[in-house]
Structure 1
Amino acid sequence: MGRNYFTDEQLKDLPLNPFVKKASNKAITYTDEFKEYYVSEYNTGKMPLEILRNAGFDVKALGKQRVDNLSRRFLSMAILNLINYSFILFIYNSYLT
């Protein structure tokens, strides 16, 4: 499967989205705010394409593989953050007793 590169026109438009930290012809770096927004919206039952469209992204330009990867990555990071937070609370509470 070939890589989905962004066109010059898409590269001009991507930085205009406030959720984009930086973009190259191969990749997008999303802001932390977008990652939090994505997970929050996903947890309310919204589907990945809907979340991305509502955030101003052209899902066709992103491509299926990029959408699948960012969804998996953001949700995995959210789970790890929750586990780390829970572990810290457990240690903290154990220390207090």
Structure 2
Amino acid sequence: MSKIIFNEHQCRQLEANPNVAAVSERAIQYTPEFKVKAVKENLQGKGPSQIFVEHGFDLMVIGTDKPKSALKRWRKSYQLYGEQGFFEERRGKGSTGHPSTNDLSAEKKLEKAEARIKYLEAENELLKKLEELERQAKRRS
């Protein structure tokens, strides 16, 4: 997310650009067609700033770093997924979050549950010891 905050006038100016799909006060969403075109032009040797200026963007509004960082992300996406990667929603796919428990066998589920029980029992013991130490410290003072 950009550190630049667009005012109402700048948002309208950006929305008027045919290469922009949507604008918020902090972000610009570019059309997939523009992304493909920009990556291809960049691979042919054009600089990021030149590409953005030629396609109607004011670098004073969007910032001079945005073209470079956007093209860096788009080139990576283009290498991984090709042109089609810009036309389909990719967020959330291939997530490395918590692994699903749906695919676990009954044995694995039991093993995980036993490990969790053991952990919680140890936690309870620790809390009991802590409470006892606090009571002893209170009696001494």
Structure 1 and Structure 2 fold alike (TM over 0.5)? yes
Query: Comparing both chains, which one has the higher relative contact order based on Cα–Cα distances under 8 Å and sequence gaps of 6 or more?
Result: 1
- What SS is found at the alignment partner of 1:29? strand
Partner of 1:47: 47
User: For the aligned residues, what is the CA RMSD?
Assistant: 1.5
What is the number of equivalent residue pairs in this alignment? 81
- What SS is found at the alignment partner of 1:64? coil
Partner of 1:62: 62
Runs (5+) with no aligned partner, structure 2: 83-141
C-alpha displacement at 1:62, in angstroms? 1.1
Runs (5+) with no aligned partner, structure 1: 83-97
Partner of 2:94: none
Answer with 1 or 2: which has the greater Rg.
2
C-alpha displacement at 1:5, in angstroms? 0.9
Partner of 1:30: 30
Deviations 1:45-74 (A, max 9, x none): 100000000110011211133223211111
Partner of 1:74: 74
